[in-house]
Amino acid sequence: MNAVSLPPSHSSIEANPTFLFTSPHRSIKAFGVAEEICLSACGAAHSDSFLQTAVQGAINRARRAGQANPIVAGAIPFDIRQPCSLFVPMSYTAFARETLMVEERRSERAPTVLGMRSLPDKDAFKDAVTRAITSFRAGKMSKAVLSRILEIELAQPVDVAAILNALVKQNPSGYHFKAPLGDGAILLGASPELLIRKDGAAIRSNPLAGSAKRRSDPDEDQLASRTLLQSNKDNFEHRLVVDEIQEALEPVCKALTTPTEPALMNTSTMWHLSTLITGELANHHTSALQLACRLHPTPAVCGYPTAESRSLISALEPFDRGVFSGAVGWCDSAGDGEWAVAIRCGTVHDKAIRLFAGAGIVEASDPESEWAETEAKLGTMLRAFGIETGERPACR
Catalytic positions = 143, 193
- CA pair distance 44, 356, nearest whole angstrom: 26
- 371 φ, ψ (degrees, to nearest 5): -60, -45
Residues 252, 286 contacting (CB under 8 angstroms): yes
